[in-house]
């Protein structure tokens, strides 16, 4: 029994080893399955060809379309001024803003009218003396001899006639100066500042106020000069035989952008102006009226002028006016482009010599496709590229992408931004 107790553990171990060997000998080899590489997971978008109305965006500051210094043409003391003739005041065209003491000019006008009467009296006397001299000559010499001008006193008559004309001109001048004692508003507008008040003596030619018009407003918008090709510009000069045929269209989309001609018309492109005043977002309609005469030599930007008629028109609807000095955003309605595709900027891949996009074909293979960039915008790009109906554009970022590699589609957007 003592030996059995010592050999029993050894026998158990040997039996276990034997059983393990039998199990190993009876096992079957697992079936080998070859795994297929399906490629990385990518996101794709559909970019169908569209007809796009290009919009050029910019920013600018509102300024009045007309601003003048109010300068009196006569001197004198201000005896009255309009209650609106102060900084920020409003006025209509033809309103009297202030009045200069007219008494000196009234006296001068009366004196000039008296001089006209005197000159007219001398002319009447000279005319009658000339007629009398003619009758006397005919009585003595008959009608056979012709008298000289001096005999008929015609030089004296012409001198008296000239004196009448000069006196009337002086009277008109005095009347004009009297009328100029009333300083009238040349347009509907507002007062920017005033440097004169009642009781103050002002001199002719001395600016006393600064006025600006509210009948129209202008916005100077700097844009890259290449953007001028994308919207209608007003004719800078009168061109005989000019036509507006083909306005807002691009005839050949496959042309290089630098070959697209500028489009001129009698009126420039329509503009949507957006701004915030008193915490309220408002919109106004405008139009491109002209471009400044030169390109900015520092920024290389073209400066276009957008004009808005009746900038205070929203007041009648309870809205804010387009105030001078406001910083606004403008959206210029550009030309229409056909068969153009819209993609995000990140979808453009830079090749060695050209721009590319990655296209997922019908077999889920990545393909390199060369594109023509028509216009770059803030978050998207307009391109021209040949894509089949069952192909989509890859927007995911991949490292080591090769032409023909397999990819897996995560999801598909019908269109960029949808």
pLDDT in tens, 138-185: 888 877 788 888 888 899 999 999 999 999 999 999 999 999 999 999
DSSP for 115-169, please give it. HHHHHHHHHHHHHHHHHHHHHHHHHHHTTSSPPPTTTTTHHHHHHHHHHHHHHHH
Please tell me the total count of domains within the chain: 3
Identify the pLDDT of residue 263: 77
Q: Work out the pLDDT band at 287, boundaries 50, 70, 90.
A: very high
Q: Are residues 87 and 112 in the same domain?
A: yes
Identify the pLDDT of residue 58: 94
Check pLDDT > 90 for residue 292: no
Identify the pLDDT of residue 239: 55
Identify the pLDDT of residue 146: 85
Q: Are residues 322 and 226 in the same domain?
A: yes
Q: Are 211 and 193 in contact (CB under 8 A)?
A: no
| pTM for the model | 0.72
The burial class, CB within 10 Å (0-12 / 13-18 / 19+), for 406 is middle
Rounded Cα–Cα distance for residues 268 and 64 (Å): 19
Q: Are residues 328 and 208 in the same domain?
A: no
Domain boundary among 312, 337, 362: 337
Q: Are residues 93 and 204 in the same domain?
A: yes
Structural domain range at position 148: 69-212
Dihedral of alpha carbons 106, 108, 111, 112, sign? negative
Check pLDDT > 50 for residue 244: no
Domain boundary among 337, 371, 390: 337
Q: Are residues 329 and 357 in the same domain?
A: no
Q: How many Cβ atoms sit within 10 Å of the Cβ of residue 88?
A: 10
Q: Are 332 and 231 in contact (CB under 8 A)?
A: yes
Check pLDDT > 90 for residue 401: no
Q: Are residues 178 and 276 in the same domain?
A: no
Summarised one tens digit per residue, pLDDT across range 51-109 is 988 899 999 999 999 999 999 999 999 999 999 999 999 999 999 999 999 999 999 99
What is the domain-level CATH number for residue 401? Answer: 2.40.420.20
Domain boundary among 319, 337, 355: 337
User: Token pair of 214, please?
Assistant: 């509210």
What is the domain-level CATH number for residue 273? Answer: 2.40.30.170
Identify the pLDDT of residue 166: 96
In a domain, 60, yes or no: yes
Q: Are residues 372 and 312 in the same domain?
A: no
Q: Are residues 271 and 331 in the same domain?
A: yes
């Amino acid at each position: 029994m003592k030996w059995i107790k010592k050999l029993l553990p050894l026998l158990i171990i040997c039996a276990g080893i034997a059983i393990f060997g039998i199990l190993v000998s009876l096992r079957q080899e697992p079936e080998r399955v070859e795994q297929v590489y399906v490629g990385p997971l990518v996101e794709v978008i559909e970019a169908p060809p569209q007809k796009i109305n290009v919009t050029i965006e910019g920013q600018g500051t509102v300024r009045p379309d007309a601003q003048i210094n109010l300068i009196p043409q006569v001197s004198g003391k201000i005896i009255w001024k309009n209650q609106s003739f102060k900084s920020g005041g409003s006025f209509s065209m033809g309103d009297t803003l202030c009045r200069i003491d007219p008494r000196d000019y009234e006296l001068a006008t009366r004196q000039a009218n008296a001089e006209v009467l005197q000159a007219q009296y001398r002319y009447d006397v000279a005319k009658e003396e000339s007629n009398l001299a003619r009758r006397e000559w005919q009585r003595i010499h008959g009608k056979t001899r012709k008298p000289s001008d001096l005999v008929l006193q015609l030089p004296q008559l012409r001198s008296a006639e000239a004196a009448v004309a000069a006196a009337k001109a002086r009277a008109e001048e005095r009347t004009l100066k009297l009328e100029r004692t009333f300083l009238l508003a040349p347009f509907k507008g507002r007062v920017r500042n005033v440097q004169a008040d009642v009781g103050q003596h002002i001199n002719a030619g001395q600016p006393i106020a600064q006025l600006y018009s509210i009948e129209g407003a202008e916005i100077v918008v700097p844009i890259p000069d290449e953007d001028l090709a994308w919207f209608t510009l007003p004719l800078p000069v009168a061109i005989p035989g000019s036509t507006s045929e083909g306005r807002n269209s691009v005839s050949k989309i496959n042309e290089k952008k630098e070959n697209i001609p500028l489009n001129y018309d009698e009126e420039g492109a329509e503009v949507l102006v957006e701004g915030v005043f008193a915490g309220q977002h408002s919109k106004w309609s405008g139009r491109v009226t002209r471009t400044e005469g030169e390109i900015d030599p520092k920024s290389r930007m073209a400066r276009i002028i957008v004009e808005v008629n009746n900038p205070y028109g929203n007041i009648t609807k309870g809205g804010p006016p387009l105030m001078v000095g406001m910083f606004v955003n403008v959206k210029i309605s550009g030309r229409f482009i056909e068969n153009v595709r819209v993609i995000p900027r990140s979808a453009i891949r830079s090749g060695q010599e050209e721009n590319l996009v990655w296209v997922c074909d019908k077999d889920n293979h990545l393909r390199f496709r060369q594109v023509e960039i028509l216009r770059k915008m803030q978050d998207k790009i307009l391109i021209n590229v040949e894509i089949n109906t069952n192909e989509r554009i890859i927007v995911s970022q991949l490292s080591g992408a090769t032409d023909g590699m397999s990819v897996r589609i995560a999801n598909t957007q019908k269109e960029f931004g949808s």
